[in-house]
Structure 1
């Protein structure tokens, strides 16, 4: 036991010498303590090397002498030696002032006193740091729910300001949403104010109402008169043609009348504003017609259902009745509405890539998907638009399902998509007027009680709508794709036949007053019908002979 004690002391002294030699290197607690001992007397290390075999009493005696020498040297020397004390992590070195050396050296004689000043200083700084952060957190995050950690750097984010009702704030909000380059998620934000704006946000609520507000339109007054006439008129003399379909469960003849009454209620909820172009800045009726003519061509290329085209154009008009659109985004609105309509009506709808190819990659898939969401939100997800062809099929039942008049009626009904003056006509009225004019073209001038009952309109209510269709036929051909579509053999070339019939009675470009010319027109039609029947009878006799 006694022989091991000097060996351990020699090892500690050797470590102190090595640390003193590397004083310029990274300091440590051992080296710092050895520097204090070395300042008192350097001969201690040499003595400890030469007295490796001394006894324990001699070692304790030398230790006491060294301690007393250090204390006396520190008190007698006026410029006390500067001692460097490490903070404990080997990064920085702190200089102890002269007034504190006596306290530090006195503590050496007790228990490891050189570490006490460092610990005291560090504790004081830590407490000050903690109190400062507590004060900052209490001042800044007084409304915070989750208190942040002490080690996390706190970033103060100011609360968003409430929207101002001043004119300047409204102007800034308008500029923020004005003419977005692409339809983005910001377009779904609610408008700040109700003032008229030129962006895609909602404007005045006055021009967003359906056609009931347009009381000055003759066609709207005619629609209201027609509804009142049908409801008050004694509807007599018609045959119950639905009874013939009682054995066919697909015709649901028991509920046919109720179904069409419901469709007439739905058509009034999906009517666009007939004068919405007046609220647009860049779109005119001419550009709308060009867009619809292109949509008709796109519809034919994809070979979609007729109901898809009608719903798509209804979505375009309803969306533009509620939102402003730039001319550069008009084609995006049209192709997106066709994409939505195809999803609703088609069994196998074209994909987004097909529509991107149709627009020659002018827009991306992201644009169409975002526009789809925006349009559906604008129209409040109301896709229950009753197609005019549904009412045309119903009225064609009273016409013995004449294929020619029905096909020509489809042509006249589709004119309602291009002619903006027919926007205020409900689908049921447009279908009935188209069938009435188609029968007139083929020589059937009588509007029978069955036709009146199944079309739900009397003849007087159909004349203003049919007059607009007739004037459209007499105009020079402007929409080539639409005219070529019904000039095909598939549709019996009804567009060519209707134009030939109209130009044979009136000159091209003439504005016809059908109500004034109705009596004379019926007389001419009846004469042509009589001549046609006589010619067919003669031809039949010749074949028999």
Structure 2
């Protein structure tokens, strides 16, 4: 039986094709196949050009390219004009040469105008580039240069990031919303937050998850009246959303069905999740106090024990409804200020005033509220935060004595306590 290649002659004979024409067709096909093999080894597939995977996508690169293109165009125009001049001199008379010289002067004037326009554009671009440059941080307040070799710390953008978070706080300022909630009160909210702290501790979640869950709960309650029976459902769903936003391995609905002792079903969790996202317009990237607290602690150069004490004050403040209206950056600064005074350290050094943007006079009202809350005896209903920070893992900061009230007031308002000269 003939092969597939040998059957071409039989098919051609059946179609009455001349032998010479068959040979010519075979010759052409061989040439085409050779040309295909020469371009690519993959049976005629054309060879693809290699392209760079990463290119310079900055505006500066585009501006430089545009300047180079303009310079190249200038050179081409000058060369073309020189060629035209030489040809016109050899062919035209002196009168025509005079005309050509007048035309060339006009062309030069137009070229000068174009050059002036291009120089003005270059100056405008340079002016815009200078405006985009962020102001340099003074050397005495530079806390990020030591991490210049650590790409995870992003020292070039650290201050800009926290300045941006601070600017976003204006969008998430809360007011007293309990007047819109006829079925719940501030005490019920405090019990819910205390329970969320326990959930965060049992599941070993990030502290950012806890803070964001409380923020989501407050913002939803400020927009939607609920019944007291649904308060735990709101807090649990807020923790579920926060874990999806912050955690590497977020919790599932089954986890919350278990910890809620099947008080709610899966459909209720999913409906509440959709309700919270719609009420917040899917914008759940809310700045929280824990982000600013870690930043301020780094600026002050304090140790882990000092940061833990400030975190203890900050988690206590989560349960106080009066502090819901305060901005997260201001709340974090007040917690660190109180922690510094508790450890007999300078209250508010200039580096913290520079990076936080707050002076002692702005911190004073919030510091007094946190101090009064921490000085109260522990409640039988709200005991999770105090028991958590009484553990040795957290340096037992909950058992530390608070700073004396007179020392606190002297630091907050030194003008009220003038020095007595003996």
Of residues 385, 396, 399, the one that matches 1:493 is: 396
d(CA) in 1 for partners of 2:186 and 2:339?
Answer: 26
SS of 1:476's partner is: coil
**What do residues 403-424 of structure 1 show as CA deviations (whole Å, max 9, x unaligned)?**
2211111111112211111111
Deviation of 1:237 after TM superposition, in Å, equals 8.4
d(CA) in 2 for partners of 1:364 and 1:446?
Answer: 50
SS of 2:149's partner is: coil
Q: Is structure 2 residue 154 aligned with structure 1 residue 252?
A: yes
**What do residues 126-170 of structure 1 show as CA deviations (whole Å, max 9, x unaligned)?**
xxxxxxxxxxxxxxxxxxxxxxxxxxxxxxxxxxxxxxxxxxxxx
Deviation of 1:515 after TM superposition, in Å, equals 4.5
Q: Is structure 2 residue 163 aligned with structure 1 residue 261?
A: yes
RMSD across aligned positions (CA): 2.3
Question: TM-score scaled to structure 2, two decimals?
Answer: 0.62
Residues 284 and 446 of structure 1, relative CA distance in 2, 3 Å threshold: closer
* Partner residue in 1 for 2:244: 343
| Contact 1:437–1:466 (Cα < 8 Å) also in 2 | yes
d(CA) in 2 for partners of 1:514 and 1:422?
Answer: 19
Aligned length: 279
**What do residues 164-222 of structure 1 show as CA deviations (whole Å, max 9, x unaligned)?**
xxxxxxxxxxxxxxxxxxxxxxxxxxxxxxxxxxxxxxxxxxxxxxxxxxxxxxxxxxx
* Partner residue in 1 for 2:361: 460
Of residues 367, 377, 386, the one that matches 1:483 is: 386
Matching of residues 196-215 of structure 1 within 5 Å: none
d(CA) in 2 for partners of 1:308 and 1:513?
Answer: 35
d(CA) in 1 for partners of 2:328 and 2:246?
Answer: 17
Matching of residues 156-195 of structure 1 within 5 Å: none
d(CA) in 2 for partners of 1:468 and 1:376?
Answer: 32
d(CA) in 1 for partners of 2:157 and 2:412?
Answer: 36
* Partner residue in 1 for 2:310: 409
Of residues 197, 204, 213, the one that matches 1:296 is: 197
| Contact 1:486–1:495 (Cα < 8 Å) also in 2 | yes
| Contact 2:312–2:385 (Cα < 8 Å) also in 1 | no
SS of 1:247's partner is: coil
d(CA) in 1 for partners of 2:180 and 2:409?
Answer: 32
Deviation of 1:481 after TM superposition, in Å, equals 1.0
d(CA) in 2 for partners of 1:455 and 1:517?
Answer: 18
* Partner residue in 2 for 1:395: 296
Of residues 418, 422, 426, the one that matches 2:319 is: 418
Of residues 306, 322, 336, the one that matches 1:435 is: 336
**What do residues 19-62 of structure 1 show as CA deviations (whole Å, max 9, x unaligned)?**
xxxxxxxxxxxxxxxxxxxxxxxxxxxxxxxxxxxxxxxxxxxx
Q: Is structure 2 residue 142 aligned with structure 1 residue 240?
A: yes
SS of 2:361's partner is: coil
Deviation of 1:513 after TM superposition, in Å, equals 11
* Partner residue in 2 for 1:277: 178
**What do residues 42-93 of structure 1 show as CA deviations (whole Å, max 9, x unaligned)?**
xxxxxxxxxxxxxxxxxxxxxxxxxxxxxxxxxxxxxxxxxxxxxxxxxxxx
d(CA) in 1 for partners of 2:272 and 2:200?
Answer: 19
Query: Max radius of gyration: which structure?
Result: 1
Gaps of 5+ in 1: 1-234, 507-511, 524-545
Deviation of 1:309 after TM superposition, in Å, equals 0.4
- Higher mean displacement: 359-368 or 442-451: 442-451
SS of 1:461's partner is: helix
Gaps of 5+ in 2: 1-136, 418-422
d(CA) in 2 for partners of 1:408 and 1:348?
Answer: 28
SS of 1:254's partner is: coil
Matching of residues 8-47 of structure 1 within 5 Å: none
Deviation of 1:446 after TM superposition, in Å, equals 3.8
